[in-house]
Structures are given as C-alpha cells and as structure tokens.
C-alpha cells in the first residue's frame, strides 16, 4: 500500500506554501507592496518602516471550508464512485508585532505557513480500497484458484474449452469476492517564528533582514481492511486482512530572509522579498508497528524542504481614495530537496516531477470614508507539480491551475484600531483526470493480460471558501510621525 504524506495546499501559494497569512490578504489576495498594517511582516517586511511610530499588533484567524473529491472512472474493480473529504479548519491563526521608531523597525511573527491543515477521508480512497482487496488475495493466487474453479465447473457441465477459458478469465478478474473498505486522516502543521528588522536609508530606499525557525509535524492514520468471501469447489478461501498506518514525522529548520522597498515617486511602492529555502530533515515515528505494509520505517529520516520564494509587489495610490496593486510570487520547488516524496514503485521522482510554481495577484482598494475601506482581489496560481506525480493518497496541487476571488472590508473605528473581514473562494480552475502507475496503469495491464481492455482513471477537484477576521491595534510611541 502506498500512503503519501499529506502535503496539501490550503488556498493560495505553492504546493508546500500558504500565501493566506492574514485577514487583509483574504480580502485582497495581494499584500506584497502593502505598507499599512503589521501583517506586512510576512508580505513586505521592508515596508514596516512606513507603519506609524510605536507598537503595532495584528492578530487574525481564518476559517477554511474545504472540499476535495477523487472520482474513479472506468474502474471495474472499484466501480465508478466518489471519494469525498469535507472537513473544515476552524482555527488558522497568525500573529504579528512591529515596533517602529524613526528610520528603523523591529518585528516578530508567528505564522501557519506551509500546507497547514487536516484532511479526513472517512470512506477512504481508491488506492487504499484496492490495497485492501489485494491484501485479501485479489490479483494473486486466490484469484487464480477462483478462476480455475470456474474453468472446471464449465467443463464439468459439458461446456467447451473456449467457454471454460472465458469463465476462468472472468472469474479471475472479478473483484466481487473481495470486499474492502478504507479510511484515512492526514494532518500537516508548519509553524514559523520569525524575527527581524528594517531600516530606511533614504526616502526612496528601505531594506530588511529576518531570521526564521520552522517547525513541521505531519501525521497519518488510516488503513485498509479487505476480505475474501469465496467458498466452493472444495476450496475455502475465506479470510480477512488489513493494512494499518499510524505514523508521525517531525522536523525543525532555520532560514533567513531579505527584503527591499523602493519608492520612485510619491504614491508608488516597489517591493522585492526573498525567502531562503528552509532545510527540513524529517524523522518518522511508527506507532504499534502500523507501518502501512512496510511503507514507513521507524526512525527513518528524509528531506522535505520548504523551497526558496521570491515575492515581487507593485502598489500605486491612484487617488487619495483608490489604491491598485499587483503581485508575483515564484516558488522554486524544482531546486528544493523533496526526497520524502520520491517513490520508485509509483515512478515518482521529485527532481523530475516538480517545476517552479508561479502565483499572480491583483487588488483594488477603495477608501469610502475615514472609517470604511472595501476591496476586491484575484489570484491565479500555476502549480509546478507534474500530473505524473498525482496520487490520491496525498492529493496535492498536482498539475492544476488555481483561480481565486477575494473581497472584504476594513473598518477603522478609531485612529489606533482597525478591523478586517475577508471572504475568498478558490480552487482548481478545472477538474483534471489522471491514471496513476500502481493503481490505474497496473490494473489496466492486468486486464490486458487476459485480453480485456479497460481505461481506469481518477478525476480530481478541490474547492475552498475562506472566512477571515483580523484586528490591528496601534500604541503610539514618543516620536511624532
């Protein structure tokens, strides 16, 4: 059985990143050039020198409603059916703090970066259901015995050898005597703490440096239970078999960041931020020998790094009330170490199957009056993962383009307090189909060996609705702005 680590994209970003790090982002989908609130510690840390003097706190939470489906098509063993995961993530928090004085600022943050989420498949997944049938004997010696019994039964009833051979083939391919069920829960947690500072060298130039610690934990629990119900012609093949998995993988890594802000003319902001790759060497713990049929080894170490990221932003204050911005993120997944995802049995090689991911965004913000600001945003994401690396047991971004729309508002009841509310919808721009190697292609080859042509595939889709609420508090310093 193959169970991949659940590195699941949670809204926007690369396969292993979440760009959604604040309520301000959820209402705009673009913060790379922002210079207004403390959440720019993540998006544009060089811009923190533009915040009001004193201490600024920004706290937000996102509730992510998520739907993922895997549908089997043309599969005579599992049938055509939908496997669904609908579990919400109610609490996805982020915290930022900035202290600014004169030309400099220092900042810190706690962020749920990476693909932080929980995914439950209460009715399992196609690969797991097939593994349960195979564990009980389907496709092996038991299928051969059932086919041989069918052959002898036809011959004994006076049938021709051709008829007996046809019955043998049909019985050997029949998965009816091998019922199975499966279930899976996967969770990924990527928590980052960062600390850094920024300095404005001139009215047109600001630089920032930061360090970051990332803690990641990934848990997988699940299994597949299969059975053989066949009894006849002197054979009693009845049995039950199960494959269980209960593993945890943990890693801690460190990296740095550098940011640059340019202000060529009044009202124009050009930002560039580089997040260095974070090396993460995961150590796996297997509980109670539940190793997924030998898929995992207790104490095994493997790398799954967060890739280097380049963020570019352009913001323009078109009028005193209207601001427009554009953003571009590039995730260098092709050059990251992702040994954990390699699987020779399914012909997955991360060095070949992962290219760089690009993410483009645009936003408009309109200040209606001193208290109310409304916004609209759009996000387009081209995932760099090749379709050949798609597995239903991990269901990452997998060769799918994402399209997202965002809206919301900021309410400022006082000079030092802001509330942000955001609503965003995102997901696969189009459903896509794929035939993986060990499940679909191997099944096709088995049927072809008996002269039966099948074309099994899986169809993938994901959708998200995100609600976010944020609070920005500012405590003035002694310096006049």
**What average pLDDT does range 27-41 have in this prediction?**
97
pLDDT of residue 475: 94
The band of 11, judged by pLDDT with boundaries at 50, 70 and 90, is low
pLDDT > 90? residue 97: yes
266-303 pLDDT, tens digit each: 999 999 999 999 999 999 999 999 999 888 999 999 99
Locate the DSSP E strands across 122-267.
Answer: 180-202, 205-228, 231-232, 235-236, 239-262
pLDDT > 90? residue 345: no
pTM: 0.92
Domain extent listing, the chain: 23-138+175-476
When the pLDDT of each residue in the chain is averaged and rounded to a whole number, the result is: 91
Nearest one of 217, 3, 228 to 121, comparing CA atoms:
3
pLDDT > 80? residue 251: yes
| Overall residue count recorded for the chain in this entry | 481
Which of the residue ranges 1-10, 252-261, 459-468 has the most confident prediction, judged by mean pLDDT?
A: 252-261
pLDDT of residue 6: 46
- Provide the CA 360 distance to its chain's centre, in angstroms: 18
**What average pLDDT does range 186-208 have in this prediction?**
95
- CA separation for the pair 285, 397 (Å, rounded): 26
Residue with tokens 């299969």: 226
pLDDT of residue 7: 44
Dihedral through CA 51, CA 52, CA 55, CA 59, nearest 10?
Answer: -50
**What average pLDDT does range 226-235 have in this prediction?**
91
Under CATH, to which class is 23-138+175-476 assigned? mainly beta
* Residue 289 neighbours by CB under 8 Å, 6+ apart: none
- CA separation for the pair 130, 133 (Å, rounded): 5
- Phi/psi for 161 (5° steps) reads -55, -35
């Amino acid at each position: 059985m193959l169970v991949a680590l659940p590195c699941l994209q949670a809204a926007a970003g690369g396969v292993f990143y979440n760009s959604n790090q604040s309520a301000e982002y959820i209402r705009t989908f673009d913060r790379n050039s922002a210079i207004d609130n403390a959440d720019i510690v993540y998006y544009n840390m060089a811009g923190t020198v533009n915040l009001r003097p004193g201490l600024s706190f920004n706290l937000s939470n996102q509730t992510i409603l998520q739907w993922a489906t895997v549908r089997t098509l043309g599969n005579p063993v599992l049938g055509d059916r939908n496997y669904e995961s609908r579990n919400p993530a109610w609490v996805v928090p982020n915290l930022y703090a900035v202290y600014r004085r004169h030309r400099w600022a220092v900042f810190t943050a706690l962020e749920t970066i990476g693909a932080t989420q929980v995914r439950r498949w209460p009715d399992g997944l196609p690969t797991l259901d097939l593994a349960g049938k195979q564990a009980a004997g389907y496709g092996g010696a038991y299928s051969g015995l059932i086919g041989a019994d069918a052959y002898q039964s036809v011959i004994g009833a006076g049938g021709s050898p051709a008829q007996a051979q046809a019955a043998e083939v049909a019985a050997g391919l029949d998965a009816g005597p091998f019922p199975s069920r499966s279930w899976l829960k996967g969770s990924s947690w990527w928590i980052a703490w960062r600390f850094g500072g920024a300095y404005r060298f001139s009215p047109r130039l600001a630089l920032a440096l930061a360090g970051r610690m990332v803690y990641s934990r990934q848990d997988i629990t699940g299994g597949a239970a299969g059975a053989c119900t066949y009894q006849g012609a002197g054979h009693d093949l009845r049995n039950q078999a199960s494959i269980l998995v209960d593993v945890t993988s943990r890693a801690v890594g460190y990296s740095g960041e550098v940011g640059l802000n340019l202000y060529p003319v009044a009202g124009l902001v050009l930002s560039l931020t580089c997040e260095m790759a974070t090396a993460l060497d995961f150590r796996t713990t297997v509980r109670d020998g539940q190793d997924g049929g030998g898929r995992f080894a207790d104490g095994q170490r493997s790398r799954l790094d967060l890739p280097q990221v380049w963020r570019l932003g352009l913001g323009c204050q078109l009028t005193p009330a209207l601001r427009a911005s554009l953003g571009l993120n590039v995730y260098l997944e092709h050059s990251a170490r992702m040994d954990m995802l390699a699987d020779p049995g399914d012909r997955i090689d991360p060095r070949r199957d992962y290219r760089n991911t690009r993410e483009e965004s645009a936003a408009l913000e309109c200040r209606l009056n001193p208290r109310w600001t409304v916004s609209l945003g759009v996000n387009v994401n081209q995932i760099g993962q090749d379709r050949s690396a798609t597995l239903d047991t991990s269901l990452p971004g997998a060769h799918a383009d994402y399209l997202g729309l965002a809206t919301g508002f900021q309410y400022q009841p006082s000079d030092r307090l802001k509330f942000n509310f955001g609503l965003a919808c995102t997901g696969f721009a189009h459903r896509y189909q794929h035939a993986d190697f060990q499940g679909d292609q191997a099944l096709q080859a088995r049927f072809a060996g008996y002269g039966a042509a099948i074309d099994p595939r899986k169809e993938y889709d994901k959708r998200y609705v995100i609600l976010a609420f944020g609070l920005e508090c500012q405590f003035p310093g002694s310096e006049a702005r």
